[in-house]
Amino acid sequence: SLYTNTHILLTMSSLNDIVPPGVVTGDNLLKLLQHARDNGYAIPAVNCTSSSTANACLEAARKNKSPIMIQVSNGGGAFMCGKSIKDPTNAVAGAVALAMHVRTVAKYYGVPVVLHSDHCAKKLLPWFDGMIKANEEWFAKFGEPLFSSHMLDLSEEPDEENISICVEYFKRMVPMKIWLEMEIGITGGEEDGVNNEDVDPEKLYTSPEQVWDVYEALSKIGSMFSVAAAFGNVHGVYKPGNVTLQPERLGKHQAYAKEKLGCDNDKPIYLVMHGGSGSTDDEIALAVANGVIKMNIDTDTQWAYWDGLREFEASKREYLQGQIGNPDGPDKPNKKFYDPRVWVRKAEESMIKRAGVSMEKLKTVDTYPAKIPESGSLPMWNFKPTGPVEGAVKKITSGFSALSQKLQK
């Protein structure tokens, strides 16, 4: 069958041979996630709120020879725009700014990067609309969307409404080959202003019939979608064993869909895992074995970023009490200690290590030996306009070249 032949090809192929480095979208994103599903690994998706945290993720991916997903939440987008900005489009602007930063630097790291937006509840749909508009404008100029994928989280709404809204947005996304992640069943706990701490425990477990309803509706429109099916997941930080995860339920979703489809594929549905903090290694491994191709990471990397700064401050406290004067002498300067590039870097290094731990747990380490570009081989920006825009860019570039030559004379 077509599935069997594709499965054999992807399990035999090196990821380096089928997916390019840099931000991946469309067909390349589909190949990446197919390869993950067919080879039993899941890609870590880390929430980022700054260029610093994004760079830490990229460095961790390069160091561990792994693909990476960089995702932004509504609150993260607003923070990226600037806490003082109260304009209603601040989260859109911040999300776009982070995406532009990642697009500019990603290829220098030599690994595949997925640009994703995180939970979008019904009340946040204007944010989603803004990002879709940005994608459409980017697509018109460059032939691909700005973001690789987006998530709609309408799990608090009735299933019928949840699915119908996802269908309408997916119709708009499919022409640009943007991946849609949706959630059915609720992830407990609290994250980014969405509080499900007091939710009915039964809603923390999605049924196979619910997952099938999603698959049946979305598969009529396109194939690039995944389902965040709840299996007891909880946002936040908990000790292993304090969260009752049931990842075996994911296998039941796959078996139910396989029977309905009458197909050869044991994992016909792309699944994602939220609320992974506090999960045991065995629970994560079973979830991945049952078709999870992405796991969200936020709480643990937040702590790691802070912990790097905390350790640095504790070790250099006497050098951080003023601009001048330290244990080495009353006139000794302290700039090399309080320079943000020093202590922010310590935070990054700690986050890099923690992201690497997730890559080990999710089995992405060594899946993609980094293709580091030859020094000086990349243009300042990696955007390749199509159509009339290309001619305009050439004129601007030639104008700069002429001006530069004139100035050199």
Residues 6+ apart with CB under 8 A from 362: 41, 42, 43, 44, 284, 288, 295
Secondary structure (3-state) at 74: helix
Note whether 94 and 79 are within 8 A (CB): yes
> Which 8-state DSSP code applies to residue 286?
H
Note whether 141 and 389 are within 8 A (CB): yes
Note whether 361 and 280 are within 8 A (CB): no
Helices 340-361 and 51-64, axial angle in degrees (round to 10):
50
What number of residues does the chain have?
A: 409
SS (H, E, C) 205-220: ECCHHHHHHHHHHHCC
Among 17, 38, 118, 266, the active-site one is 118
118 as an active site residue: the answer is: yes
Strand bridging mode 68-72 / 112-117:
parallel
What residues pair up with 272 in beta bridges, in sequence order? Answer: 294
Nearest residue to 176 (alpha-carbon basis) of 217, 206, 131, 210: 131
Question: Under the phi-then-psi rule, with left for phi > 0, alpha for psi from -120 to 50, and beta for the rest, what region is 82?
Answer: left
Nearest residue to 149 (alpha-carbon basis) of 75, 229, 222: 222
Hey, what amino acid is at 185? G
Cα 288 versus chain centre, distance: 17
Strand bridging mode 43-47 / 68-72:
parallel
Place of tokens 């009529």: 220
- Catalytic positions, please? 118
